[in-house]
Structure 1
């Protein structure tokens, strides 16, 4: 790390222009994997106004107004699709950020 010192950069400039961009590029996949795991493990989708998606789906299994032979299957498929949609979106955004921060390809 003698190059930034020879250019006369301060500690904060060295961190902001050299160290952090490289570190951020390397840690994005791990951070996104952690967020996806947290999202799937908690099953809370309060971002879109649902309190507990799987709890609501299971509650409708015994509701006489909604219950049928295919209610459990369609409910769980819908819940799985919602989880997949959010995780896929986060994964695509992660890939976008990785490409955006990959300055070695330019």
Structure 2
């Protein structure tokens, strides 16, 4: 979705570009917590009577749409970093637009924005704690619930320390993977 939005934003078709810009800028201008509230509180009111979508699915769709707008901007930056000669070379070889995007341009563009993509992914992982506002459990809320359990009273530090250790481990592994991937895909 993000790649399609990025390509639409760079499109020469005015209507497609306008819709993509409108979606990306409106979505990026709203905080994630507001998007989650809309998905949880307003979306059920907009659905026809009797139609219902699971709360988790609504939250997942909201997060996917939110992240796709940010990722589209990252991909667009990668596309803009590719020299015009690459586009011209693909055209000179007789490669069509979609095939040149798939085989020539996007692999180079995505390689250049790996750090930004990983940063977005880590930020999204850390933002998963926001789903508590719509009544869903996450890792941090599970630690809070465990610390309130009568059998575990007094173990607040351990519960939150363990949750922090999990977040730290996942984030460090993701950043190390990003560095490894950058070295592996270096030209």
* Equivalent position SS for 1:88: helix
The equivalent of 2:107 in structure 1 is 21
1:66 paired residue among 152, 156, 175: 152
| TM-score with structure 2 setting the length | 0.44
Question: More helix by proportion, 1 or 2?
Answer: 2
Corresponding position of 1:32 = 118
Distance 1:3 1:76, change over 3 A: same
Indicate the structure (1 or 2) with the bigger Cα radius of gyration: 1
- The aligned runs of 1:1-106 (5 Å cut-off) are 1=85, 2-6=88-92, 8-11=93-96, 14-43=100-129, 51-68=137-154, 71-103=155-187
SS of the residue aligned with 2:107?
Answer: helix
Shift in Å at residue 73 of structure 1?
Answer: 1.0
Number of aligned residues: 94
Change (3 A) 1:3 1:77: same
Q: Which runs of no fewer than 5 residues in structure 2 stay unpaired?
A: 1-84, 131-136
Cα distance between partner residues in 1 of 2:111 and 2:158 = 40
CA-based RMSD of the aligned residues comes to 2.1
Between 1 and 2, higher relative CO (CA 8 Å, sep ≥ 6) is seen in: 1
Q: Unpaired runs of 5+ in structure 1?
A: 45-50
C-alpha separation between the residues in 2 aligned to 1:24 and 1:9?
A: 23
State the TM-score, normalizing by the size of structure 1.
0.72
The ranges of structure 1 where at least 4 consecutive aligned residues each deviate by more than 6 angstroms after the TM superposition are none
Distance in 1 (CA, whole Å) between partners of 2:112 and 2:153 is 49
- Residue 48 of structure 1 corresponds to none
- Structure 1 Cα separation of the partners of residues 140 and 183 of structure 2: 34
Q: CA deviation at 1:61?
A: 2.4
